[in-house]
Structure 1
């Protein structure tokens, strides 16, 4: 070999060897720097210092551009920061260098889902299923995707394979049944549910589902058999009992279904509204007697699923059936756990009024104000009860307070006006009394009793007799044969010194029942006296005294003429 050529070859070899040694040294240095930087980036990510982590992972990619792990971490962070587009960019980068990585494909499927890209999402799961055919998570998700796109045979193929590998499972059977339903293979639905009942003998759920399936197919007797067979195993199961009661009600066999209903009320697996709807069929049936209906309600109110509506219906049912004592008992029982049911307080007050238990009405209505301080009706009951107990000052005070809470209720407003007028009259506060009588008449001028009372009070004071006359006359126009009304009208004529008209109307008052009223009899005597019929006057006064023997003033009047 030429010596010069040999020297050149040696120089080149030495140069290449030197460069290779330097390259290896630089590569090791880069890997070392990458490793430290990658660890720092992971630490920043764990500390949720995402911006710092992003910069460090990007620096990692600058050091080693084919680092799929760094790109994957960047995809995870951008997804965490709600930037799916950036996340997608980096997962694609990662897959470029490691296209079969399971977690990268899963990450891409998540991003596709967030972006609503169903085509990409399905592609990811097809890839996952092909690479990992024994992973049931991927198989099941792909079977759902096939189902949604009406590829039923492909979906069933995956589901059957999973069932072979894993055994009968609820979610697999349910998806198969959805496919059978959509493809109108209804008989296969019952087969799947029967299979679940066999595999899970301790579960009521599948019995119920099979029963409901037969009901939906109008196969009522099959459904009934399923539920009754289920009850041979789960005797006290409330769900199976009430569903059986529902079927019997559809067959109008309420007497047979009644015991199932009683055994089913209170199920935690069925909403209270659905249970009450079933019970309502029995409650409206004439085959079920009052005692049986009370037990239905009792089962509801004693259960954990009761609500105010059912409690109110129960109490109203008892009131309608005149079971007042039982209604009161259950109201007070409910009050032990809940006193916030406004309707029940009203029902309790109606019981007290019906039984003339005024002191209890007063006690309970005063308590109710604490729970319902803005409810006008509570104040009315309190004021009304004070009025009946003749505590007129407390009555008017409470009524005045409650009147401010009356909103869009003319009937209640009139009741307030009436008892304010009466309580102020009883306290001799006549201007206030007249004010509320007039307020009442501005709204309702046809209350004959109020017209008469107001007129009578004016005659007692011998004031505004013309007004009293008009009020009294109107009451008689409404009720012409009322002895008390005719007496008031006659007495107004008496005070106006029109004794002939007074006599005419007092005779009518006496004729239409006044002979048993001591006031009317005495007025009759007074009017006869003014008409110079002294003997007849004495007769009527004595009749009055016989009816009211303690009337000392009348006795003196009689004695003065004897």
Structure 2
């Protein structure tokens, strides 16, 4: 009946290659409340690293689940179970385990981070905002929490809320230049969304000062400048560099074509946009932009054909019906 003796026996059996009996003895030991939870967690880690992957999933889940059943009031037990669920792709179940752990011990910052990461991956943005706000009540000086909150608000187009959270997070992250750059990148998007263009430009510039080859920033900055018809020479240089270094990225190619379009370089824009179609990874925006370019080149029939393709992929695109019915470009 001794859990410790069973663990010694299991270790010997594992060394002899008798994995099946070793697992049985470990499982029995895990059901014994007298064996402390830290020892079980350590043992679980050792087994996960020493058996083949085919056995890993079932064994890990079984032992971790027993861990939570025998020690239901121990946060680490639920946290480990969440880690294993997440590792095998069961994100929603992992989230529930982390949340259970947090009800027991909300002082574990890693649990908040793990929960938020999963919520983000599951695209539960409202939950990200709520959970990060709860976490900030416990950890008001953790920049990462402002990052999650600001990012979720940004994706929901709550630009003012996003800017406020991101600025606060940036102030708290001055010792981590990489994180500061990430904040600046999102602030560029947030301030552009709220039409605070000077602040947007400064944020993007700061992000590029840290990493001149941050292609997402180069692309977004170029596109926003093109939409505003501002600093188009700068936009063209940034976008050209992005496409040169990422020749198969249809989104970056579309931005470059659109910058050229705004510079009234329609023939060049047409050639560039056709390269986007060659990637085989295009969207409604590509067809609509291509139609706009063809219209400027005098090919109205071709333009309408492309706009119709765009409508087929995105019936709710702004102005697309008006463009098609009037056979005219509206910007």
Q: TM-score range by the shorter chain?
A: 0.7 to 0.9
TM-aligned CA distance change 1:493 to 1:241, over 3 Å: closer
Q: Taking structure 1 as reference, are residues 511 and 296 closer, same or farther at Cα in structure 2, changes over 3 Å only?
A: closer
Structure-2 residue corresponding to 1:415 = 182
Give the superposed CA RMSD: 3.2
Match of 2:287 in 1: 521
Q: Kindly state the Cα deviation for residue 453 of structure 1 after the two structures are TM-superposed.
A: 1.6
Matching residue of 2:5: 240
| C-alpha contact 1:272 1:305 (8 A) present in aligned 2 | no
Distance 1:506 1:334 in 2: 51
- C-alpha distance 268-508 of structure 1, shift in aligned 2 (>3 A): closer
- Structure 1: give runs of 5+ residues left out of the alignment: 1-234
TM, length-normalised to structure 1: 0.52
Superposition deviation, residue 460 in structure 1: 0.5
User: In structure 2, what is the equivalent of residue 399 of structure 1?
Assistant: 166
Instruction: Report 1:127-526 matches (<5 A).
Output: 235=1, 237-265=2-30, 276-283=41-48, 284-286=50-52, 288-301=55-68, 302-303=70-71, 308=76, 312-513=79-280, 517-526=283-292
8 A contact 1:421–1:437 mirrored in 2: yes
Q: 1:382 to 1:554 in 2, by over 3 A?
A: closer
**Contact 1:417-1:436 at 8 Å conserved across structures:** yes
TM-score, normalized by length of structure 2? 0.83
Deviation of the 1:289 alpha carbon: 4.8
- Contact 2:74/2:104 (CA < 8 Å) preserved in 1? no
**CA 313–276 in structure 1, closer or farther in 2 if over 3 Å, else same:** closer
Q: How many residues end up aligned between the 2 structures?
A: 325
User: d(CA) in 1 for partners of 2:172 and 2:317?
Assistant: 44
State the alpha-carbon separation in 2 of the partners of residues 537 and 304 from structure 1. Answer: 64
Report 1 or 2 for greater relative contact order, CA contacts < 8 Å, sequence distance ≥ 6.
Answer: 2
Distance 1:540 1:553 in 2: 14
1:531 to 297, 300, 304: 297
Q: Is the 8 A contact 1:315 1:344 kept in 2?
A: no
In the TM superposition, what is the alpha-carbon distance from 1:349 to its structure 2 partner?
A: 1.6
Whole-Å separation in 2 of the counterparts to 1:421 and 1:365: 22
Q: Distance in 2 between matches of 1:561 and 1:285?
A: 66
> Whose Rg is larger?
1
CA distance in structure 2 between the partners assigned to 1:303 and 1:402 by the alignment: 36
SS in 2 for 1:398: helix
In structure 2, list runs of 5 or more residues that go unmatched. none
Cα displacement (A) at 1:292? 2.9
Are 1:248 and 1:257, in contact at CA under 8 Å, matched by a contact in 2? Answer: yes
Question: 1:373 offset after TM fit, Å?
Answer: 1.5
CA contact (8 A) 1:266 1:305 kept: no
Q: Map Cα deviations across residues 2-44 of structure 1 (whole Å, 9 max, x no partner).
A: xxxxxxxxxxxxxxxxxxxxxxxxxxxxxxxxxxxxxxxxxxx
Shift of 1:357: 1.5
SS at match of 1:336: helix
